[in-house]
Structure 1
């Protein structure tokens, strides 16, 4: 792939229960210490599960997203003129924007939120909103990368946000999707479900030419992406990982990389029985026996599932792990599951042996995404 075709990540920012800032997120996941605690933000009386990974204090979702966008454009070194030409692609929940805050005006509705944020942050390009569940943010990144590589856009700020709130918490709890034992155990025997977590993140994507002209530092490149649906079941993934496998294959083709180039996978792995086994099957389908010989982890076991923001939060983790050459572990491991014969990183971080990594996401309805990122 010619250098001019590369899509560069020139800024990252993240907020999670692990702290504020991308470096706090990376440091937290590298410890492997889960951030789940009793929920204090709303009443969980009568709920089967009462824990999540939440920050002790947050603003409204609109305020948190504004801060994230402002921070990431500063990190990327974008001046007022650079901001004025930047598009904003926003991934967030399609329901009420957030919990009401006393003595504050109501937040804009989700369809208007991207324009509201762009105006507050001085971004003058086009806006888009993504509400496609747990692939919202990764789909936004894939669209941004495709439009930049095609020459339609030069610069896109992708932002995503989810703050744990009572409605989604109640739905997941009533559906018995939350881990009854209060721990997320991806790919492990004895896993009982997922746990929710706060996540607000933002990245700046630019064409290689535009980034080079302004001397911007490259954090990583988005080398490839893939999206596929299997429509197997409203909630359960295809047991053979059909859609996710096709998404991974598309990302590899688009990047022009062989199977052996991938040295790490930040898995979607939510800690649910069907989803983890399906993802393992997808990796075996694409990589064959090699699927058990490269490191895999799921950082949801530490920071929780941030729903629409998960794809961006985990992208930030992945590119910073490549930057620092250290791969995060998976928390909650009990024992090997024969349905998940993968090389799961446990107990402690590992050194990265390759500059190429995949970060995967999947959503209800059979939607699947794969982003392939490379160290600069």
Structure 2
């Protein structure tokens, strides 16, 4: 696929515990100051871990998603007529889609239709509930359909607000960091921490963007998906599935491994998954795997589950545009199982035009998105 045919990202919006909007998100990840605080949204009495990255005073997930879609569409310059031509791909948890205790509001998959009507999106809708690769899979599908001419424009939205059920499951499974800090790739890492994430991204064909004079923020240059076929919960120690996803993204982009200047890693701060990802980078990128700058911004904004892929895609796009790569917070020292160039002390200046953002999920699902300068 020629570069001029690669889909463009023309509008973004994000909400996380770092704040509302892209400026707050970028400032937070570049500062390296983690947003984890005691949970006040629900009772954590009796829980092993009692912290998460939550934003105070959030509305229902339906309301937050509608606002994110509207802001992203306005940022992209979409008028009502162009919104009416746009599809909506929604990534979210398969359970109740609202925070209110009375259970009011739309449920998945009715939420997608509700959001489309509310935001004036008249194209087809899809719902993705495939755990932590939901949002990145939605972006890959949007790029595929745009690339082959089936659609001109897709609004990809994703949302997760920390709630008691998933929190309890991760805590009971001892997946949460008992010390209240996420330390990706670091010695002494103890696990992940959950975080809010509500995000929307407008993806459209280069021709559609040109026709209306839009100024793209980034290019979706490549995407790859694969499966470990290893274990329902544990990643392949050799990272073979994720490596295939990375190679697929590079192959689709028509670029060599040398083109990659940054990796926003999936790294959750858990022992086995971080080591597996490091192995995957070594297998996919060869000797470059240990030399390309890497960080995991989950160390600042937490793990947003189904919304992680979209939140981290936005972070990566913002970082490339700003010319600074985010810090990997919580660092205690090198782990021999993760031989990577981890960004630990301060944001690293960069002029790279291409970066990878990676995600992995239970069941062995792996995704890689390669974004580039517009």
TM-score by length of 1: 0.98
Query: Does residue 221 of structure 2 align to residue 219 of structure 1?
Result: no
Work out which of the residue numbers 183, 195, 200 in structure 2 matches 1:197.
Answer: 195
Q: Which residue in 1 is equivalent to 2:123?
A: 125
Q: Tell me, yes or no, if the aligned pair for 1:179 and 1:192 is still in contact at 8 Å.
A: yes
TM-score by length of 2: 0.99
After the TM superposition, which parts of structure 1 deviate over 3 Å for at least 4 consecutive aligned residues? none
Rounded Cα–Cα distance in structure 2 between residues aligned with 1:98 and 1:80: 27
Q: Tell me, yes or no, if the aligned pair for 1:270 and 1:276 is still in contact at 8 Å.
A: yes
- Cα deviation code 1:214-252 (max 9, x no counterpart): 000110000000000012111110000010000000000
Q: In structure 2, do the counterparts of structure 1 residues 101 and 75 end up closer, same or farther at CA, with 3 Å as the change threshold? A: farther
Q: Which residue in 1 is equivalent to 2:47?
A: 47
Work out which of the residue numbers 163, 166, 187 in structure 1 matches 2:164.
Answer: 166
Number of equivalences: 374
Q: Which residue in 1 is equivalent to 2:368?
A: 370
Rounded Cα–Cα distance in structure 2 between residues aligned with 1:313 and 1:352: 21
> Mind listing any 5+ residue stretches in structure 1 that lack a counterpart?
none
Q: Which residue in 2 is equivalent to 1:107?
A: 105
Shift of 1:98: 2.8
Query: Does residue 80 of structure 2 align to residue 89 of structure 1?
Result: no
Query: Does residue 179 of structure 2 align to residue 181 of structure 1?
Result: yes
Q: Which residue in 1 is equivalent to 2:278?
A: 280
Work out which of the residue numbers 321, 325, 328 in structure 2 matches 1:327.
Answer: 325
Shift of 1:59: 0.2
Shift of 1:101: 5.0
- Cα deviation code 1:283-342 (max 9, x no counterpart): 000112211111000000000000000000000000110011110000000010000000
SS at match of 2:14: strand
Rounded Cα–Cα distance in structure 1 between residues aligned with 2:150 and 2:189: 44
- Cα deviation code 1:152-209 (max 9, x no counterpart): 0000000000000000000000000000000000000100000000000000001000
Q: Which residue in 2 is equivalent to 1:64?
A: 64
SS at match of 1:110: coil
SS at match of 2:300: helix
Shift of 1:353: 3.7
- Please identify, of 275-284 and 4-13, the stretch whose mean Cα deviation from structure 2 is larger: 4-13
Q: Tell me, yes or no, if the aligned pair for 1:13 and 1:202 is still in contact at 8 Å.
A: yes
Q: Tell me, yes or no, if the aligned pair for 2:132 and 2:360 is still in contact at 8 Å.
A: yes
Query: Does residue 197 of structure 2 align to residue 209 of structure 1?
Result: no
Rounded Cα–Cα distance in structure 2 between residues aligned with 1:275 and 1:33: 23
- Cα deviation code 1:266-290 (max 9, x no counterpart): 0000000000000000000011221
Q: Tell me, yes or no, if the aligned pair for 2:72 and 2:200 is still in contact at 8 Å.
A: yes
SS at match of 1:276: helix
Q: Tell me, yes or no, if the aligned pair for 1:33 and 1:331 is still in contact at 8 Å.
A: yes
SS at match of 2:109: helix
> Mind listing any 5+ residue stretches in structure 2 that lack a counterpart?
none
Q: Which residue in 2 is equivalent to 1:308?
A: 306
SS at match of 1:78: coil
Q: In structure 2, do the counterparts of structure 1 residues 291 and 353 end up closer, same or farther at CA, with 3 Å as the change threshold? A: farther
